Amino acid sequence: MYDKTKMVSAISCGVLLLATQTATAEAPQSGRTMLEEIVITAQRREQTVQDVPLTVAAVSPTDLLRGGVADFRDLQTIVPGLTFGGQGSNAQPAIRGVSTLLSQAGSENPNAVYVDGVYHAAQNLLNMDLPDVERIEVLKGPQGTLFGRNATGGAIQIFTRNPSFEPTADIGLETGYYTGSGSSRSSPRYQVRGFVSGPLVEDLVAASLSASYQFVDGFMTNDVNGERTGRIEKHSVRGKLLFTPNDATEITLTGYYLDMPDIQGQLLGIPYNGLTAASDPVFLAPPFGGDGVVPVEPYHSASLPGYDKAEFREYGGILRAQFDLDAGTLTAITGYNDSSTHNLNNVDGAKSPAFCLATFACIQYDFKPVTEELSQEINFASVDLGRLSYVAGLFYYDAKGSTLGRIQESLVPGGILANDGHYQTTAYAAYGELTYAATDNTTLLLGLRYSKEEQDDYAGATASAPYVARDATSSSTTPRASISYALSDELNTYFTYTQGYRNGLTGTVNTAANYAPVDPEEIDSYELGAKYSSGLLAWNLAAFYYDYKNKQEQTFTGSSTIVKNTGPVEIYGLDADLNAQLSDQFSLRAALSWIPQAEYKDYPDASGQAPVRIPFPPNPLDCVGLGCGGFLPTVFDATGDRLIRAPKVTSSLTLAYEDALGDGIFDASATLYYSSEVLLDITGYIRQDAYTTLTAQAGYSFENGLRLGAYGRNLTDEEYFVSGLTSGSGFIVNYAPPMELGLSLTYSM
């Protein structure tokens, strides 16, 4: 453990990169006199947030800097109502309580993720930090009438910077320091981010290149040997070519590669309240045990080398062509993604005793999902035809992949097959929205989407469950209708009804009854809102109600998963946000999500794990392969229970200061985030108590484009869970990083 004085000294020698989150190299100006206005494309047109009849959180690079957002999972600190969780390296966001536990290849999150307009089913990329973010839009509520894939919960749109014909650069370095307070080790964190762009052929071809690298030595301790563990290493590269043959045509070709070769720190967890099969007295003492190690403190783990693997890779390309015609704008986007994940860990959260592995109470799980996606979207947005305008589009999506799972590789060479499933999904959709300005104050909107899904799957979990092929075809028609009424030039009100749809699953050995299909999810969403905007003040308020049918739930047994539908779910609440320019120097950003109701209305046959152990017979050897010492599955009535990842209250408050100082600009900000209690497993046994985090930063920008800064994240040093996983092997939780301090240096041109 490092001395705090030495730690501060070490930080003073480091530098921080926050590329795309820095001031430009233009001449400094004193403070701000107006709010920064972000143009969004939530409705496939350039509009301000106040013009869109739904709840949208628009996040700029400045917001990311002020909120201390180091990676996408940190978005929840500035976007209340968005909660991140996950299983292993699988990122699983929740929006307004709509989330999923499904992790098999082929299962998709109800909250769709798009990067530069291309849908990504594998959401592990949310563990990455992209160095070239232009803006992020979080759309709350069902999406489908204007997007490629259906989404029942919402959509996260990430837009990266395009090439510029003006030479541009944002380059810098980062060093942070996890302070090692409490039970965590001190550890450095290094990050490099950069973006460069410029013309290749004047007014015809421009190019850009962005890259990032992040390394954390590990702020965790392996109790097996007392050594440091929890390394994190990530890197990415993205290149773009922009071709503009004339004023009406823009063609962009993108290629990217994202790699996380080591993210132990996001995978390793500890048993919640000591609940792990490995802690059974039979496994911890001779003659049958004695070789197990169970971690008990936050930021500790216990594993043998090689059994703490967490990797993710994705590469792909995008071809985007936009044509400005007299009648409107035609856009065609072709996207290709290829992603793979490899997790190898002890599901019981401990160094598994050999006898515990032999009984199958402890599980070593080697999990390898692979996904390959191809999508094509054609979209047309008309010009205003008097009082009428419209958007129409066609979408094609083809995805295929596999999930390979093996267990007990340290006991059986090559392991025992636990899961071998393959899938292919082919989807077609046609969608459109019609907007009509009935009067100068009243606008009507009507949208419709038709979707068709074709699925082919085959799976075999064990030798006793042979390969079985299944195919299914489903279709849906989902509407959207909205009426907006402007009370004044600054104040707009609206009511929107939207229906969301999420495709079902073919029957495999992983469904509740073997080979029983899982029905599609459906949401009827009702939202009433008001939006106000002036030069110095903007606020948005929305009340929503969800009637959620056939929610798909997953239970993890330790070696396989079980998926089935629930009865109806009811969710309702309020969203509010405010941006205010308090003076030339001070600005305020505040947001609140209140979800008093998010519960199962009828779910009498919920399944999960009980914190009750499977007993041993008089001779423990008779229990080989029978799971003795593990935890009993339970079927219970979840009617009236609250959903996971659905805190009743989340809120964020950012106070920022900016003013000229000498020949440069000084800026500073602090962000306070609060979350009420969060449930992390369906039984409600794992729960994170209410917590508060504080992030702060300050920096000085010189005339020559250099910016020096300092920051602190999780300054309250909260030890809070970001995910929880229950199985027959244990109840395991993962912690968010501890307090981190750091300095920065960036150069912008």
pLDDT digits (tens, 9 = 90+) for 213-223: 999 999 999 99
Q: Tens digits of per-residue pLDDT, 368-412?
A: 889 999 999 999 999 999 999 999 999 999 999 888 889 998 888
Number of folded domains in the chain? 1
Is 67 a member of any domain?
A: yes
Tell me which amino acid residue 494 is: Y
Q: How many CB atoms lie within 10 A of CB 726?
A: 27
* Domain assignment of residue 343, given as a range: 4-26+39-748
The contacts found for 489-492 with CB under 8 angstroms, 24 or more apart, are: 490/532, 490/533, 490/534, 491/530, 491/531, 491/532, 492/50, 492/51, 492/530, 492/531, 492/532
Q: What's the pLDDT score for residue 41?
A: 67
b/e sequence 514-553, b meaning 16+ C-beta within 10 Å: eeebbbbbbbebebebbbbbeeeebbbbbebebbbbbbbb
Is 333 a member of any domain?
A: yes
Residues 6+ apart with CB under 8 A from 395: 148, 149, 375, 376, 377, 427, 428, 429, 430, 431
Q: What's the pLDDT score for residue 144?
A: 76
Is 32 a member of any domain?
A: no
Position 460 confidence tier, pLDDT thresholds 50, 70, 90: low
* Residue reference for tokens 């929740």: 94
Q: Tokens in use for 413?
A: 């060479």
Q: State yes or no: pLDDT of 275 exceeds 80.
A: yes
Q: Are 448 and 478 in contact (CB under 8 A)?
A: yes
Q: What's the pLDDT score for residue 560?
A: 59
Q: How many CB atoms lie within 10 A of CB 167?
A: 11
3-state SS, residue 247 = coil
DSSP 8-state secondary structure symbol assigned to residue 513: S
Which residue from 372, 118, 267 is spatially nearest to 723, judged by alpha carbons?
267
Sign of CA dihedral 686, 311, 505, 727: negative
Distance CA 740, CA 749 (A): 29
Q: State yes or no: pLDDT of 268 exceeds 70.
A: yes
Q: Tens digits of per-residue pLDDT, 538-593?
A: 999 999 999 999 998 877 655 556 778 899 999 999 999 999 999 999 999 999 99
Side-chain half-sphere CA neighbours of 521 within 13 A = 28
3-state SS, residue 106 = coil
Distance CA 199, CA 698 (A): 34
Q: Are 329 and 322 in contact (CB under 8 A)?
A: yes
Is 31 a member of any domain?
A: no
Residues 6+ apart with CB under 8 A from 733: 269, 270, 272, 680, 686, 721, 723, 724, 725
Which residues are registered as beta bridge partners of 256?
A: 238, 316
- What's the start-to-end Cα distance of the chain, in Å? 40
Q: State yes or no: pLDDT of 336 exceeds 70.
A: yes
Q: Tokens in use for 574?
A: 């309020």
Position 69 confidence tier, pLDDT thresholds 50, 70, 90: confident
Q: What's the pLDDT score for residue 634?
A: 87
Phi and psi angles of residue 469, each rounded to the nearest 5 degrees, phi first: -90, 140
Q: Are 747 and 18 in contact (CB under 8 A)?
A: no
Is 220 a member of any domain?
A: yes
Distance CA 697, CA 633 (A): 47
Q: Tens digits of per-residue pLDDT, 95-128?
A: 999 988 776 656 778 888 999 999 988 777 777 7
Q: Tens digits of per-residue pLDDT, 654-684?
A: 999 999 999 999 999 999 999 999 999 888 8
Q: Tens digits of per-residue pLDDT, 592-644?
A: 999 999 999 999 988 888 999 999 999 999 998 889 999 998 888 999 999 99
* DSSP per-residue codes, 298-343: TTEE---TTSEEEEEEEEEEEEEEEEE-SSEEEEEEEEEEEEEEEE
Distance CA 79, CA 49 (A): 14
The pLDDT of 147-174, averaged and rounded, is 90
Is 456 a member of any domain?
A: yes
Is 33 a member of any domain?
A: no
3-state SS, residue 583 = coil
Q: What's the pLDDT score for residue 469?
A: 62
Domain holding 64: CATH number? 2.40.170.20
In the predicted model, what is the mean pLDDT of the chain?
A: 87
* Residue reference for tokens 């962009």: 252
Q: Which residue has the higher pLDDT, 88 or 739?
A: 739
Q: State yes or no: pLDDT of 23 exceeds 70.
A: no
Position 87 confidence tier, pLDDT thresholds 50, 70, 90: low
Q: Are 560 and 461 in contact (CB under 8 A)?
A: yes
Burial class (CB in 10 A: 0-12, 13-18, 19+), 315: middle
Q: Are 565 and 518 in contact (CB under 8 A)?
A: yes
Is 542 a member of any domain?
A: yes
3-state SS, residue 412 = coil
Q: Are 282 and 629 in contact (CB under 8 A)?
A: yes
Q: What's the pLDDT score for residue 331?
A: 96
Which residue from 738, 573, 577 is spatially nearest to 653, judged by alpha carbons?
577
Residues 6+ apart with CB under 8 A from 77: 67, 68, 69, 652, 671, 673, 693, 695
Q: What's the pLDDT score for residue 150?
A: 81
Distance CA 95, CA 139 (A): 9
CA 357 to chain CA centroid, Å, is 33
Q: What's the pLDDT score for residue 24?
A: 33
Tell me which amino acid residue 668 is: A
Which residue from 52, 286, 18, 251 is spatially nearest to 132, judged by alpha carbons?
18
Q: What's the pLDDT score for residue 487?
A: 95
Q: What percent of the chain is modeled with pLDDT above 70? A: 88
The pLDDT of 302-317, averaged and rounded, is 87
Q: Which residue has the higher pLDDT, 605 or 195?
A: 195
Does the N-terminal peptide bond of residue 53 adopt cis geometry, omega within 30 degrees of 0? Answer: no
Q: State yes or no: pLDDT of 463 exceeds 70.
A: no
Position 535 confidence tier, pLDDT thresholds 50, 70, 90: confident
Distance CA 654, CA 590 (A): 6
CA distances from 60 to 69, 109, 327, 626, 714 (A): 11, 25, 31, 54, 21
Q: What's the pLDDT score for residue 303?
A: 86
Q: How many CB atoms lie within 10 A of CB 432?
A: 18
Q: Which of 12-21, 369-378, 414-423 reaches the highest mean pLDDT? A: 369-378
The 300-301 sheet, strands edge to edge: 227-229, 220-222, 300-301
Q: Tens digits of per-residue pLDDT, 487-530?
A: 999 999 999 999 998 887 765 544 455 556 788 889 999 999 99
Which residue from 149, 51, 146, 157 is spatially nearest to 433, judged by alpha carbons?
146
Residues 6+ apart with CB under 8 A from 283: 277, 289, 292, 353, 355, 356, 361, 362, 629
**Residues comprising the chain, all counted:** 749
Q: State yes or no: pLDDT of 485 exceeds 50.
A: yes
